[in-house]
A and B are shown apart, each in its own frame.
Chain A
Amino acid sequence: MSGRALVISIIVVAVLAAVPPFLNGYARSLLYITVLYVALAYAWNVISGYAGYLSFGQVTFFGLGAYTTAIAVIRAHLPWWEGALLGGLVSAALAVPLGYLMLRLRGAFFALGMLGMAQTLQVVANSWQLTGGGSGLFLPPGSNALPVYYWTLVIGLLGFATTLFIDRSAFGLRLQALREDEQVASTLGVHVTTTKVWAFVISAIMPGLLGGGYAWYLTYVEPVSAFATRIDLQAVAMTILGGIGTLWGPLIGGVLMSQVSEILAAQYPQAYLMIFGGLVVVLLVLLPRGIAPAISAALERRRARAAQVQR
């Protein structure tokens, strides 16, 4: 990251941290949802963007985090954030064996396998007494919005920092190598399985932590919304639009999609999904690799031209 990008980032973070107490409920919830989705997009981007394993089931860990937190608060009377930390831990613990199992599958099989995983947990939540069955679990109500917002912001920042690390580290290079060709990576000395399971664990911890906050924010958890495929699709679409496997993609795609969809929903409540879908398609036709790579390419061209002028 250049010096200027760093300064801009610090200002953006400072604003994101300072502003919420002064916002009304609607603006605050919009900001929360935006930050939540950006954070989920950063999580998804590790396993799917850098490692190349498209997943339609990272919401498995989001729901797991939400339920773990609700159960921890109701049964063990833990503070919600301890419950959410536990949610992250449980997600990581599940991700290790699940990763060894699922990451043998390639392409659509992995994507569908993860989708099946989310559906399975949904069924379990629906029928288990501990999780309150179809009606779910209710948490003590209260003014939960601000702490959850900051919790989510911190995890989003961790997601960004993790991606920054991956983008510049040996681990990240190995991930990208196995994304391009797993067999070649292995004959060049890359420990393929270990590397991708690590990526999967990172992509599981974050939704686990975020789901806990979400449960506390809504003050309830129920099977359908906790394991909603829609949540995954949203994170997937945001990342692809912003630039899959890039540092800035999830942020750019996330902010853009949440704002535009919000504005459209207010203006055209009936037709907004159609317009929105159309916009995404048009953008992806124009910029097939997403927005972030297009911006980098433009900056690169400008730098090259400036260098030429100097000579």
Chain B
Amino acid sequence: MSTPLLEVENIRRAFGGVHALDGVSLRVNQGEILCIIGPNGAGKTTLFNIISGVMRPSSGDVRFQGQSIVRWPPQRIAEAGIARTYQIARPFARLCVRDNVAVAALARERTLERARRAAQDVLESVGLASLADRPAGSLTLTQRKRLEVARALALRPKLLLLDEVMAGLTPTEIDAMAVFIEQLRERGIAAIGGVEHVMRVVMRISDRIAVLDFGKKIADGTPVEIADDPRVGEAYFGTQIDETGAGPSFPLKGRP
């Protein structure tokens, strides 16, 4: 078997006495969609922070295409092909929407003009093209979520880290985002999604699901395996697969 695209090995990270991540290991293959589900405070965002290089783990390793990246600075990780979004959207508020995306496109394009053109194409693909000249600070929550994705895509990543990109969206918008994520697979882009709710969508779009709870991975498998897993199946999905998509919160007790 070829080396996985991403290998997370035995990552630990504590904040004071809180073990946000307590020995988590994961693998993602090229073009694969992995969803990490877990309640509030399970450690999903901390994991994304460590993979994207904005936070160092207390111990453990992250390898991307076989190379350890755990000590790399964020810009180097971004250039290598890992892009991320932020759970709470963080647009460059005073820059226009196009320039927000062009910043990322500059990692690939040599001139600003070409970066702006590339940015416009990406904005087309996420449906923000008509807002390209608006200051990003004026976008609505939904539009900001899309901008997060657009900026990440403009890096032309091999791996996309999507931190709660569905949170706060309406069921229709969630469906649109789900279709969008499924299209990544066709483009050969792998994705890790961090998801608290919307189990229905997770079941549909994931190749694999990992369950995180209090910093520990308690299950990892295909959607069917996860649904059948005695530790998670009944407790998590018995009542979770609801039709609104904006389902009830996790039955596990998360951290406050």
A residues with CB within 8 A of B:
168-170, 173-174, 176-177, 180-181, 183-192
CB within 8 Å for A174 and B106 given contacts A186-B54, A187-B53, A187-B84: yes
Complex alpha-carbon distance, A181 and B73, angstroms: 16
A169, A181, A189, A192: which contacts B155 (Cβ < 8 A)? Answer: A189
A187, B74: Cβ atoms under 8 Å? Answer: yes
Which residues of chain B have C-beta atoms less than 8 A from A189's C-beta? 75, 78-79, 103-104, 106-107, 155
Which residues of chain B have C-beta atoms less than 8 A from A169's C-beta? 112
Which residues of chain A have C-beta atoms less than 8 A from B107's C-beta? 188-189
User: What is the minimal beta-carbon distance from A54 to any residue of chain B, in angstroms?
Assistant: 16
Most chain B CB inside 10 Å of its own CB: which residue of A170, A176, A183, A189: A189
**For window 137-154 of chain B, which residues contact chain A by CB distance below 8 Å?**
151-152, 154
Which residues of chain B have C-beta atoms less than 8 A from A181's C-beta? 90, 92
B75, A191: Cβ atoms under 8 Å? Answer: yes
A170, A184, A185: which contacts B86 (Cβ < 8 A)? Answer: A184
Can you list 12 A-B pairs with a CB-CB distance of less than 8 A?
Answer: A168-B112, A170-B115, A173-B95, A173-B99, A173-B112, A174-B103, A176-B94, A183-B54, A186-B53, A187-B52, A188-B78, A191-B75
**For window 49-102 of chain B, which residues contact chain A by CB distance below 8 Å?**
52-54, 73-75, 77-79, 83-84, 86, 90, 92-95, 99, 102
Which residues of chain A have C-beta atoms less than 8 A from B53's C-beta? 186-187
Q: How many A-B residue contacts, CB cutoff 8 Å?
A: 73
Complex alpha-carbon distance, A191 and B74, angstroms: 9
A188, B95: Cβ atoms under 8 Å? Answer: no
* B111 CB within 8 Å of chain A: yes
Beyond the given A173-B106, A189-B106, please list 14 additional residue pairs across the A-B interface where CB-CB is below 8 A: A168-B112, A169-B112, A170-B112, A173-B95, A173-B103, A184-B92, A185-B92, A186-B53, A187-B77, A188-B154, A189-B75, A189-B79, A190-B103, A191-B75
Which residues of chain A have C-beta atoms less than 8 A from B75's C-beta? 186-187, 189-192
B73, A186: Cβ atoms under 8 Å? Answer: yes
Considering the complex, give the chain B residue whose CB is closest to the CB of A169: B112
User: What is the minimal beta-carbon distance from B215 to any residue of chain A, in angstroms?
Assistant: 23
CB within 8 Å for A177 and B95 given contacts A186-B73, A187-B74, A188-B155: yes
A170, A177, A187: which contacts B92 (Cβ < 8 A)? Answer: A177
By Cβ-Cβ distance, the 3 closest A-B pairs, closest first, are: A189-B107, A180-B92, A186-B74
CB within 8 Å for A176 and B115 given contacts A186-B73, A188-B103: no
Considering the complex, give the chain B residue whose CB is closest to the CB of A184: B90
Complex alpha-carbon distance, A115 and B151, angstroms: 37
Which residues of chain B have C-beta atoms less than 8 A from A191's C-beta? 75
Complex alpha-carbon distance, A185 and B86, angstroms: 12
Considering the complex, give the chain B residue whose CB is closest to the CB of A189: B107
B90, A173: Cβ atoms under 8 Å? Answer: no
User: What is the minimal beta-carbon distance from A1 to any residue of chain B, in angstroms?
Assistant: 16
User: What is the minimal beta-carbon distance from B162 to any residue of chain A, in angstroms?
Assistant: 13
B52, A185: Cβ atoms under 8 Å? Answer: no
B106, A186: Cβ atoms under 8 Å? Answer: no
Complex alpha-carbon distance, A191 and B106, angstroms: 11
Which residues of chain B have C-beta atoms less than 8 A from A192's C-beta? 75
Considering the complex, give the chain A residue whose CB is closest to the CB of B84: A187
Considering the complex, give the chain A residue whose CB is closest to the CB of B148: A184
Complex alpha-carbon distance, A183 and B90, angstroms: 10
Most chain B CB inside 10 Å of its own CB: which residue of A169, A170, A174, A191: A170
Which residues of chain B have C-beta atoms less than 8 A from A170's C-beta? 106, 111-112, 115
Q: Mark B97-124, 1 if CB is under 8 A from A, else 0.
A: 0010011101100011001000000000
Which residues of chain A have C-beta atoms less than 8 A from B90's C-beta? 181, 183-184
User: What is the minimal beta-carbon distance from A292 to any residue of chain B, in angstroms?
Assistant: 14
Considering the complex, give the chain B residue whose CB is closest to the CB of A183: B54
